[in-house]
Amino acid sequence: MDQVTIFEMSPRDGLQNEARFVPTAQKIALVNALSDLGFAKIETASFVSPKWVPQMADGAEVLAGITRRDGTAYTALTPNLRGLENAIAAGVDEVAIFASASESFSQKNINCSIAESFDRFAPLMARAAEAGLPVRGYVSCVTDCPYEGEIAPQPVAQVAARLAQMGCYEISLGDTIGQGQPERVDAMLHAVLERMPPAQLAGHFHDTAGRALANVAVCLDHGLRVFDSALGGLGGCPYAPGAKGNVATEDLAAMLAAKGYATGLDPTALAQAASFARALRQDEKAT
Ligand code: HMG
Ligand code: MG
């Protein structure tokens, strides 16, 4: 059976956009619940500026408080060398850098141009290599930008190729605002796949327009076997106004099972845990 890896995003992409600060104990409870579900990868924290994203200010405490499961990699976003040093001190297993195919989004999200972002990433990559940490790379706005509208495939392919050349082991292609149509995702993938194999790519679809699963299906047809999702469909990006959460993990896992792919996850347990995750968003009591 063909294997697909689900990279669970809810503690990071899910909670970074919440209006309220989700208490550290609840974040830890979420990560522990995800570990129990058996995810191989959990994006657990962000080591970004707390002035920019206050919801993620407690990353070190979250990593210190979780119960680690063998076989799960606990990962974090690191925008610069400072973030990487903090992530290393917190004991992450893997980090991710994040670039954009849109100049405007790069400026709004990380306060620099696309070219400047690569200058920032270079020392980070060197330090991560020294520390033996795998680095994943994100490309945001792979079909649409909240500020510029449609993004052409070629800039996406160029940014993805640059991240790969810098040493990212995998490039996650982000439909940041969840507006991509399957035809445009297909065109984007054609361009990217001229530069790297499908085994080096992941799909990261927000579900604003309800097309995330259709876009995952396009990626599957192109040979991609890693997808990012968030339990309960939590999330959004603080610098992508109106963007909804990642595709819901429970929906993604169900679709993959129906198509005959193995994820190693239990659909019933996922559905139960999804209501716990959604309770965090709704500001309800979650223990
Ligand atoms: P900046 O203001 O240009 O940088 O921010 P700076 O170096 O001038 O620093 C400004 C302040 O932040 C300083 O503090 C620094 O010390 C501090 P001050 O002197 O004013 O007191 N600082 C930090 N503090 C903690 N950790 C750090 C750090 N770096 C600087 N690592 C920066 C540049 C990149 C830091 C900022 O713009 C930032 O943090 N941006 C992050 C935005 C973010 O997290 N966005 C959401 C994640 S991306 C996403 O969701 C998309 C994705 O899901 C894929 C998709 O869907 O497309 C991945
Ligand atoms: Mg995202």
Distance CA 61, CA 59 (A): 5
CA nearest ligand 1 atom 35, residue:
49
Average pLDDT on 223-250 reads 91
Mark whether 237 is an active-site residue: yes
Q: What is the CATH number of the domain that holds 19?
A: 3.20.20.70
Q: Is pLDDT at 283 greater than 70 in this prediction?
A: no
Q: Is 286 among the domain residues?
A: no
Residue 287 in any domain: the answer is no
104 contacts: CB under 8 Å, gap ≥ 6: 145, 147, 148
DSSP sequence for the chain? --B-EEEE-IIIIITTT-SSPPPHHHHHHHHHHHHHHT-SEEEEEE-S-TTT-GGGTTHHHHHHHSPP-TT-EEEEE--SHHHHHHHHHHT-SEEEEEEESSHHHHHHHHSS-HHHHHHHHHHHHHHHHHHT--EEEEEE-SSEETTTEE--HHHHHHHHHHHHHHT-SEEEEEETTS---HHHHHHHHHHHHTTS-GGGEEEEEB-TTS-HHHHHHHHHHTT--EEEEBGGG----TTSTT--PBPBHHHHHHHHHHTT-B-S--HHHHHHHHHHHHHHHTT----
For residue 98, which atom of ligand 1 is closest to its CA?
58
Q: pLDDT tens for residues 21-75? A: 999 999 999 999 999 999 999 999 999 999 999 999 999 999 999 999 999 999 9
Q: Considering only CA atoms, which residue is closest to atom 3 of ligand 1?
A: 111
Of the residues 141, 145, 168, 237, only one is catalytic, namely 237
Q: Closest ligand 1 atom, CA of 243?
A: 56
pLDDT band at residue 281, thresholds of 50, 70 and 90? confident
CA of 176 to the centre of ligand 2 (A): 5
Residue 277: give the domain boundaries. Answer: 5-281
Does this model's pTM top 0.75? My answer is: yes
Q: Which residues of 228-241 are buried (b: 16+ CB within 10 A; e: fewer)?
A: bbbbbbbbbbbbbe
User: How large is the average pLDDT for residues 156-167?
Assistant: 98
| pLDDT reported for residue 1 | 75
* pLDDT higher than threshold 50 for residue 212: yes
- Give Cβ neighbours of residue 158 (< 8 Å, ≥ 6 apart): 101
Residue 285 has pLDDT above 80, yes or no: no
In a domain, 104, yes or no: yes
Domain presence at residue 25:
yes
Mean pLDDT, rounded, of the chain: 95
Ligand number nearest to the C-alpha of 238: 1
Contact 40, 73 (CB under 8 A): yes
Q: Which residues surround the ion ligand 2 when the cut-off is CB under 5 Å? A: 13
> Which ligand minimizes its atom distance to the CA of 80?
1
The yes-or-no verdict on residue 94 having pLDDT over 50 is: yes
Pick the residue whose CA is nearest to atom 32 on ligand 1. 110
Residue 170 domain flag: yes
233, part of any domain: yes
Number of structural domains found in the chain: 1
Domain-embedded: residue 30: yes
Q: Is residue 191 part of a domain?
A: yes
| 228 alpha carbon – ligand 2 mean position (Å) | 9
Counting from 1 in the atom list of ligand 1, the atom nearest the Cα of 53 is 44
Nearest CA to ligand 1 atom 4: 111
Alpha carbon distance 138, 77 (integer Å): 10
How many other CB atoms are found less than 10 A from the CB of residue 215?
Answer: 30
The predicted structure's pLDDT at residue 284: 41
Cα–Cα distance for residue pair 31/150, rounded to 1 Å: 35
